[in-house]
Amino acid sequence: MKAGVVHAKEDLRYEDIEKPVPKEGEVLVKVKYTGICGSDIPRVNGDACHFFPNILGHEFSGVVEETGAGVTRVKPGDRVAGVPLVPCMKCVDCQRGDYSLCRHYS
């Protein structure tokens, strides 16, 4: 599979990486679309990466390819989107189901 991988400051490579095998509770998604957002740019050009190598593209959508043991909410073939931040699930917006409006993301 292919990925945009940051190996060091200003060292971004589009390369083949090993296809991961989902562990218990994990899902392998075949990414169909991804974006590069404002937080990705400093990871490549600046000092915003906390570790290397770092795979870009935390905002994505795709299709579930495999599921690990214990996964029950999705199955292979389901369309999904990645959520780069976790909503608090307690505020008014989260209680309404408007997770993208949460002001307390972690």
What HEC string does the chain produce? CEEEEEEECCEEEEEECCCCCCCCCCEEEEEEEEECCCCHHHHHHCCCCCCCCEECCCEEEEEEEEECCCCCCCCCCCEEECCCCCCCCCCHHHHCCCHHHCCCCC
Q: What pLDDT is recorded for position 25?
A: 96
96, part of any domain: yes
Q: What pLDDT is recorded for position 71?
A: 98
Q: What pLDDT is recorded for position 39?
A: 81
Q: Per residue in 82-91, pLDDT tens?
A: 877 788 999 9
- Give the domain extent around 93: 2-101
In the chain, the number of structural domains is 1
Q: Per residue in 1-57, pLDDT tens?
A: 999 999 999 999 999 999 999 999 999 999 999 988 888 888 899 888 888 999 888
CATH of the domain at 34: 3.90.180.10
33, part of any domain: yes
pLDDT of residue 79 exceeding 90, the answer is yes
Q: Give the integer Cα–Cα distance in Å for 46 and 19.
A: 28
Cβ pair 87, 94 in contact under 8 A: yes
Q: What pLDDT is recorded for position 18?
A: 95
Output the CA angle 11-15-69, nearest 5 degrees. Answer: 115
